[in-house]
């Protein structure tokens, strides 16, 4: 009688690992980022567990898989292990998680193995994978490694399974039951037995295939077997053996000497199923990585259906009629993980900046700027166009597309302007949450700004009431007997040229220099802020209390979005950068004319702490379920009037492409510049793009028949008053004449070297002839296209042609350049360049105050900063009465101020209100909360 043929598990496992290795290398030849990654969680230091882990590490290395072991002490708590698994579940770089068993008794094996998400359960132990395997026609993501190895052994050994009788001895969820499911699915007739099964020997004797997984040494005897049966021994058992150095010997569940005399094929122990278990593990990891990368490459936005009614209801009615997707669904569709998402209710969330590091290898998506021609006081629909364009790209053209917009201030919300969520069927939802509080960023800005204001007045008070020694003692008090400088103090000492770090080592002269800021009260530029329209706070007196001992001074309030802290929120690139910028803010000059900064005051660290969460962009959605980043809201007159650099950077990566992907797969990030292009667009390029290094692929200029008729000589347009007949009846000549303003704005945009598409925001009163005239004039002026849109009435469907035009324009050659360079161009020269090239002015005329301010800032080292001009948005000039394209004017610059932390100067060309007032009939009069707790009366 011949002995059974031994099934060499080691050899078959080697071939599996080699196939895996070859497969990885083939994929990496076209996708360099492909890197299958397994993490093994090991609790305790059991020798057998450590041995198994070493085997898995070796196999992973041979197969070309990254493998890391996370080792934890025996006494780690169950909750800590579960938290670790949760973090790994959400890490896209991890494709497989294996909890090495057994775990200590105080930890539930079921809990920790079930905690691994189904798509990383490479051991196949989770209930979803096991459940799918048990179902007829089920589709598990992973088959448990040992059962999968058993099936490969049978296949590689040429065993025909269909129609054969198979007996599985053992009913565990890890081996016995899954093997039975696999054999059944391979069309075998399967019987499951266990050690207590009656007539077990007779049942086994009927089997063509025997799988022993009972966990009892040498349990199955040769005489139990049918002649020429195939025997798969899964057992791993140690029995005493004095001849062995260890005193024990490894055996299986089958009595090998007797079984090998009867069987036709048999697996040895060791060297049979064991190596296959590890081989199938590495195969599962690779399969998981392939699915993961495929899912990333197939990012897809599922649009919400939109039922457009006519006549179009109010914005608020439209918003409430649509049921938004849960914010986690939005996040998953665009590739944001749960650990990168901080939910604030079901429909809004903050996004962690860590995502930038995870996606750093991606090429950015397409970057689109929406600007506008010189508007009427009613606005021409830039926000609505931004949202409508993104809805068209994402919901109708199957692109990954983001709208990146500013967070609205509650001042205008409760005042007269209204919200900033877009309008009609192109808006951000839920619009009440969008316009009120959101996630509290504006309140954080208010608190940070006002903390610094209080610190300035407090410092002046204490400097006036104390001598140097006493002041120094209180500024640097001992803590547990030790005095030390704070980070801000060390930064101030460095500025003063003092290199000492021991507070006790300073001389009297150095102490005096350190403690005396000597702020000149007349030079303080820092004001308090509130997110409310309140005209009575424009000018106030502080310090009138009896305890302030007569330290009164004139100051005032600005609206929060006018704070330099808000501009810094929009322009910073991370926590380190915002800390630096906040410290650099100049709040006053000292009596010698030197700048006094927030760092000198010692408040930069505290301000950073107040804004550490505010720097994370907020995620929302449009009416059609496409993603929106809402972040920062700097004033569009004295600041950049754009959403944040960080939101743009994150969106561009989420919309971007991986190495090896075609550029055609790139998504789109559409952001908006406040006011007309001479203001918002100019600042977007020369300040925001200069700061971020980002370069737009195209500009969309929003124009309306209404605005062009105004610039062609039509009567004034005033909020709250009916439009004159000229605006509601066809007048092609008036439109054509007004197109001179459009042509100038096209020229302004093309000055930066990017393609320009004109979006003609269509109103119901516009005629086809008027729209055709605008298109003709726009193309003559060099626009790449000019396309009528009806997104206010039709949502994204009304902007599909615009979206197609933008896609074409964004593929064109881009010769991006800035308007001026900063280092060798004086502040006055920059003002001249902006006025002449953007406005069409003859030049600028500086007041004596403005000239002195420029001289001071230049002397203080700020002359190399970019500059913007605060002026009216209702004219290319500084005079709102001058419509069309004014000629022969000079821009008067009455004052120049510095936002050093934000990184720019700003010149005032007119009286600019930094805190609006409330009208007689203000928006707050209409707002109520109904019995359901819902807000009514907004817009």
Quick one: which of 910, 878, 914, 881 has its CA closest to 894? 910
Residue 568's CB is within 10 A of a number of other CB atoms, namely 28
Class for the domain spanning 827-908: alpha beta
pLDDT in tens, 60-79: 999 999 999 999 999 999 99
Q: What values do phi and psi take at 212, rounded to 5?
A: -105, 115
pLDDT in tens, 209-232: 999 999 999 999 999 999 999 999
Q: Pull the structure tokens for residue 745.
A: 């704005």
544 is catalytic: no
Q: Pull the structure tokens for residue 40.
A: 């093994």
Confidence at residue 412, expressed as pLDDT on a 0 to 100 scale: 72
Confidence at residue 934, expressed as pLDDT on a 0 to 100 scale: 75
- What distance in Å separates the CA atoms of residue 107 and residue 314, rounded to the nearest whole number? 57
For every residue of 511-556, DSSP letters joined together read HHHHH---B-GGG----EEESS--GGGSSEEE--SGGGTT--EEE-
Task: Say what the pTM is.
Answer: 0.89
Confidence at residue 644, expressed as pLDDT on a 0 to 100 scale: 97
- In the predicted structure, residue 293 carries a pLDDT above the cut 90: no
- In the predicted structure, residue 638 carries a pLDDT above the cut 60: yes
- In the predicted structure, residue 2 carries a pLDDT above the cut 80: no
Confidence at residue 718, expressed as pLDDT on a 0 to 100 scale: 87
Confidence at residue 1, expressed as pLDDT on a 0 to 100 scale: 53
Helix (H) or strand (E) holding 413: helix 410-414
- What distance in Å separates the CA atoms of residue 779 and residue 742, rounded to the nearest whole number? 11
In sequence order, which residues have a C-beta less than 8 Å from that of residue 83 and are 6 or more positions away? none
- What distance in Å separates the CA atoms of residue 424 and residue 104, rounded to the nearest whole number? 60
Say which of 56, 164, 348, 417 is annotated catalytic.
56
Asked if 914 contacts 635 with a C-beta cutoff of 8 angstroms, the reply is yes
- What distance in Å separates the CA atoms of residue 699 and residue 756, rounded to the nearest whole number? 5
Phi-psi bin for 347: left (phi > 0), alpha (psi -120 to 50), beta?
alpha
- What distance in Å separates the CA atoms of residue 818 and residue 321, rounded to the nearest whole number? 44
pLDDT in tens, 673-716: 989 999 999 999 999 999 999 999 999 999 999 999 999 999 99
Residue in the structure block whose two tokens are 């359960």 = 121
Q: What is the CA radius of gyration of the chain?
A: 36
Mean per-residue pLDDT of the chain:
93
In sequence order, which residues have a C-beta less than 8 Å from that of residue 690 and are 6 or more positions away? 818, 822, 866
Q: Which residues make up the CATH 3.30.1510.10 domain(s) of the chain? A: 442-611
- What distance in Å separates the CA atoms of residue 297 and residue 719, rounded to the nearest whole number? 48
- What distance in Å separates the CA atoms of residue 195 and residue 177, rounded to the nearest whole number? 15
Q: Which residues make up the CATH 3.10.410.10 domain(s) of the chain? A: 827-908
The verdict on whether omega for the bond into residue 746 sits within 30 degrees of 0, i.e. cis, is: no
- What distance in Å separates the CA atoms of residue 738 and residue 726, rounded to the nearest whole number? 13
- In the predicted structure, residue 312 carries a pLDDT above the cut 80: yes
Q: Which residues make up the CATH 3.40.50.10860 domain(s) of the chain? A: 1-124+273-298
Quick one: which of 539, 529, 561, 513 has its CA closest to 454? 529
- What distance in Å separates the CA atoms of residue 265 and residue 4, rounded to the nearest whole number? 5
Asked if 326 contacts 346 with a C-beta cutoff of 8 angstroms, the reply is yes
Q: Which residues pair with 554 in a beta bridge?
A: 541
SS (H, E, C) 234-290: CCCEEEECCCCCCCEEEECCECHHHHCCCCCEECCCCCCHHHHHHHHHHHHHHHHHH
Q: Pull the structure tokens for residue 510.
A: 């150095």
CA neighbours closer than 13 Å in the CB half-sphere of residue 749: 33
CATH code reported for the domain at 365-438+616-811:
3.40.50.300
- In the predicted structure, residue 80 carries a pLDDT above the cut 90: yes
Helices (H), 843-903: 848-859
pLDDT in tens, 765-797: 999 999 999 999 999 999 999 999 999 999 999
Asked if 382 contacts 370 with a C-beta cutoff of 8 angstroms, the reply is yes
Q: DSSP 3-state assignment of 94?
A: coil
Confidence at residue 713, expressed as pLDDT on a 0 to 100 scale: 95
- What distance in Å separates the CA atoms of residue 887 and residue 872, rounded to the nearest whole number? 16
The DSSP letter of residue 915 is: S
The dihedral sign for the CA sequence 72, 75, 80, 81: positive
In sequence order, which residues have a C-beta less than 8 Å from that of residue 575 and are 6 or more positions away? 353, 608, 612, 615
Helices (H) and strands (E) in the chain, counts: 34, 36
Q: What values do phi and psi take at 706, rounded to 5?
A: -60, -50
Q: Pull the structure tokens for residue 234.
A: 């899964």
Give percent of the chain with pLDDT exceeding 70. 98
936 is catalytic: no
- In the predicted structure, residue 415 carries a pLDDT above the cut 70: no
| Most distant pair of Cα atoms in the chain: their distance | 114
- What distance in Å separates the CA atoms of residue 234 and residue 169, rounded to the nearest whole number? 10
Quick one: which of 54, 121, 60, 50 has its CA closest to 85? 121
- What distance in Å separates the CA atoms of residue 363 and residue 358, rounded to the nearest whole number? 13
- In the predicted structure, residue 939 carries a pLDDT above the cut 70: no
Which of 57-66, 126-135, 604-613, 914-923 ranks highest by mean pLDDT?
604-613
Confidence at residue 122, expressed as pLDDT on a 0 to 100 scale: 94
Q: Pull the structure tokens for residue 428.
A: 């951000």
123 is catalytic: yes
Asked if 606 contacts 344 with a C-beta cutoff of 8 angstroms, the reply is no
- What distance in Å separates the CA atoms of residue 761 and residue 385, rounded to the nearest whole number? 7
∠ at Cα 835 (831, 839), nearest 5°?
A: 155
Confidence at residue 870, expressed as pLDDT on a 0 to 100 scale: 93
CATH code reported for the domain at 159-267:
3.40.50.720
Confidence at residue 421, expressed as pLDDT on a 0 to 100 scale: 79
Q: How confident is the model at residue 248 (pLDDT cuts 50, 70, 90)?
A: confident
Rounded to a whole number, what is the distance in angstroms from the first to the last CA of the chain?
93
Q: Pull the structure tokens for residue 454.
A: 């209080």
Say which of 119, 123, 315, 558 is annotated catalytic.
123
Confidence at residue 416, expressed as pLDDT on a 0 to 100 scale: 64
Residue 882's CB is within 10 A of a number of other CB atoms, namely 16
The verdict on whether omega for the bond into residue 650 sits within 30 degrees of 0, i.e. cis, is: no
Least confident of 101-110, 116-125, 134-143, 870-879: 134-143
pLDDT (average), residues 173-190: 93
Residue in the structure block whose two tokens are 């459940």 = 131
CA neighbours closer than 13 Å in the CB half-sphere of residue 790: 12
In sequence order, which residues have a C-beta less than 8 Å from that of residue 527 and are 6 or more positions away? 453, 555, 556, 557, 558, 914
- What distance in Å separates the CA atoms of residue 93 and residue 830, rounded to the nearest whole number? 47
Q: What does each C-alpha distance from 16 to 6, 11, 22, 874 come to in angstroms?
A: 18, 9, 10, 72
Asked if 343 contacts 626 with a C-beta cutoff of 8 angstroms, the reply is no
| Fold adopted by 1-124+273-298 | Rossmann fold (3.40.50)
Asked if 365 contacts 666 with a C-beta cutoff of 8 angstroms, the reply is yes
pLDDT in tens, 157-173: 999 999 999 999 999 88
Q: How confident is the model at residue 288 (pLDDT cuts 50, 70, 90)?
A: very high
Least confident of 536-540, 626-630, 700-704: 536-540
Q: What does each C-alpha distance from 559 to 491, 537, 915 come to in angstroms?
A: 30, 10, 5
CATH code reported for the domain at 442-611:
3.30.1510.10
Residue 729's CB is within 10 A of a number of other CB atoms, namely 9
Q: What values do phi and psi take at 482, rounded to 5?
A: -120, 130
Q: Which residues make up the CATH 3.40.50.720 domain(s) of the chain? A: 159-267
For every residue of 822-855, DSSP letters joined together read STTS-HHHHHHHHIIIII--SEEEE-HHHHHHHH
The DSSP letter of residue 784 is: S
Q: Extract long-range pairs of 356-359: CB within 8 Å, 24+ residues apart.
A: 356/574, 356/649, 356/650, 356/653, 358/92, 358/93, 359/653, 359/654, 359/656
CA neighbours closer than 13 Å in the CB half-sphere of residue 659: 11
Helix (H) or strand (E) holding 819: none
Residue 308's CB is within 10 A of a number of other CB atoms, namely 15
Q: How confident is the model at residue 836 (pLDDT cuts 50, 70, 90)?
A: very high
Residue 658's CB is within 10 A of a number of other CB atoms, namely 17
pLDDT in tens, 115-157: 999 999 998 888 888 888 888 878 888 999 999 999 999 999 9
Confidence at residue 154, expressed as pLDDT on a 0 to 100 scale: 96
Asked if 703 contacts 759 with a C-beta cutoff of 8 angstroms, the reply is yes
Confidence at residue 417, expressed as pLDDT on a 0 to 100 scale: 53
């Amino acid at each position: 009688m011949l002995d059974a043929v031994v099934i060499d598990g080691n050899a078959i496992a080697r071939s599996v690992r080699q196939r895996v290795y070859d497969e990885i290398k083939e994929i990496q030849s076209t996708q360099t980022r492909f890197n299958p990654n397994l993490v093994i969680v090991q609790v305790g230091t059991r020798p057998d567990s450590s041995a198994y882990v070493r085997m898995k590490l070796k196999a992973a290395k041979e197969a070309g898989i990254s493998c890391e072991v996370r080792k934890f002490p025996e006494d780690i708590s169950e909750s800590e292990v579960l938290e670790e698994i949760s973090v790994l579940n959400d890490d896209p770089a991890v494709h497989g998680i294996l909890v090495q068993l057994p775990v200590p008794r105080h930890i539930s094996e079921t809990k920790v193995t079930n905690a691994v998400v189904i798509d990383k359960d490479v051991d196949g132990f989770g209930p979803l994978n096991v459940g799918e395997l048990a179902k007829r026609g089920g589709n598990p993501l992973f088959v448990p490694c040992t059962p999968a190895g058993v099936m490969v052994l049978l296949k590689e050994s040429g065993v025909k399974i269909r129609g054969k009788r198979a007996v599985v001895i053992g009913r565990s969820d890890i081996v016995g039951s899954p093997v039975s499911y696999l054999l059944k699915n391979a069309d075998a007739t399967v019987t499951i037995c266990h050690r207590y099964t009656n007539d077990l020997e007779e049942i086994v004797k009927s089997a063509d295939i025997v799988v022993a997984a009972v966990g009892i040494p040498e349990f199955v005897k040769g005489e139990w077997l049918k002649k020429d049966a195939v025997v798969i021994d899964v057992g791993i058992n140690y029995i005493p053996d004095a001849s062995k150095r260890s005193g024990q010997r490894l055996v299986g569940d089958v009595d090998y000497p007797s079984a090998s005399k009867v069987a036709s094929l048999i697996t040895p122990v060791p060297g049979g199923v064991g190596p296959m278990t590890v081989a199938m593990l590495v195969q599962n990891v690779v399969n998981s990585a392939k699915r993961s990368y495929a899912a990333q490459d197939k990012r897809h936005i599922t649009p919400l259906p939109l039922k457009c009614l006519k006549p179009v209801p109010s914005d608020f009615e439209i918003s409430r009629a649509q049921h938004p997707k849960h914010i986690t669904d939005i996040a998953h569709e665009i590739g944001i993980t749960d650990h990168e998402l901080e939910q604030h209710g079901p429909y809004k969330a903050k996004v962690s900046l860590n995502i930038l590091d995870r996606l750093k290898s991606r090429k950015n998506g397409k970057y689109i700027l929406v600007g506008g021609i010189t508007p009427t006081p009613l606005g021409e629909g830039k926000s609505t166009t931004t949202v409508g364009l993104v809805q068209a790209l994402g919901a109708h053209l199957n692109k990954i597309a983001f709208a990146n917009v500013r967070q609205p201030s509650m001042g205008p919300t409760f005042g007269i302007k209204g919200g900033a969520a877009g309008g009609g069927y192109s808006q951000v939802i839920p619009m009440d949450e969008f316009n009120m509080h959101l996630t509290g960023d504006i309140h954080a800005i208010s608190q940070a700004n006002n903390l610094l204001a209080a610190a300035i007045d407090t410092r002046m008070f204490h400097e006036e009431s104390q001598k140097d020694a006493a002041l120094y003692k209180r500024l640097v008090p001992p803590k547990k007997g030790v005095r030390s400088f704070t980070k801000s103090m060390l930064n101030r000492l460095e500025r003063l040229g003092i290199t000492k770090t021991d507070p006790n080592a300073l001389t009297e002269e150095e102490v005096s220099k350190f403690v005396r800021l000597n702020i000149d009260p007349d030079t303080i530029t820092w004001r308090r802020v509130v997110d409310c329209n309140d005209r009575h706070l424009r000018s106030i007196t502080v310090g009138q209390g009896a305890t302030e001992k007569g330290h009164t001074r004139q100051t005032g309030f600005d609206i929060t979005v006018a704070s330099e802290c808000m501009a810094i929120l929009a322009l910073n690139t991370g926590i380190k950068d915002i800390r630096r910028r906040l410290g650099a803010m100049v709040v006053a000059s000292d009596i010698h004319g030197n700048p006094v900064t927030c760092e000198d005051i010692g408040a930069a660290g505290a301000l950073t702490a107040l804004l550490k969460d505010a720097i994370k962009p907020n995620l929302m959605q449009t009416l059609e379920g496409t993603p929106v980043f809402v972040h920062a809201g700097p004033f569009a007159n004295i600041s950049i009037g754009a959403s944040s650099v960080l939101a743009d950077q994150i969106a561009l990566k989420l919309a971007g492409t991986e190495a090896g992907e075609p550029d055609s797969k790139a998504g789109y990030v559409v952001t908006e510049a406040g006011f007309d292009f001479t203001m918002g667009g100019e600042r977007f390029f020369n300040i925001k793009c200069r700061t971020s290094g980002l370069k737009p692929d195209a500009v969309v200029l929003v124009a309306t028949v209404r605005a062009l008729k105004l610039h062609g000589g039509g009567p004034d347009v005033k909020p709250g008053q009916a439009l004159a007949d000229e605006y509601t009846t066809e007048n092609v000549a008036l439109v054509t004449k007004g197109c001179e303003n459009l042509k100038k704005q096209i020229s302004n945009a093309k000055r930066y070297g990017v393609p320009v598409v004109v979006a003609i925001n269509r109103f119901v009163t516009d005629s086809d002839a008027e729209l055709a005239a605008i298109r003709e004039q726009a193309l003559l002026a060099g626009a790449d296209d000019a396309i009528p849109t009806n997104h206010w009435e039709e949502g994204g469907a009304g902007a599909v042609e615009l979206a197609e035009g933008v896609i074409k324009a964004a593929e064109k050659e881009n010769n991006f350049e800035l308007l001026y360079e900063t280092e060798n161009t004086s502040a006055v020269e920059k003002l001249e360049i902006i006025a002449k090239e953007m406005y069409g002015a003859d030049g600028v005329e500086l007041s004596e105050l403005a000239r002195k301010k420029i001289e001071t800032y230049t002397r203080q080292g700020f002359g190399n900063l970019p500059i913007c001009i605060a002026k009216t948005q209702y004219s290319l000039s500084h005079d709102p009465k001058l419509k069309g394209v004014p000629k022969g004017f000079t821009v008067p610059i009455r004052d120049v101020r510095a936002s050093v932390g934000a990184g720019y100067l700003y010149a005032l060309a007119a009286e600019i209100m930094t805190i609006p007032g409330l009208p007689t009939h203000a928006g707050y009069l209409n707002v109520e909360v109904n019995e359901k707790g819902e807000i009514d009366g907004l817009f």
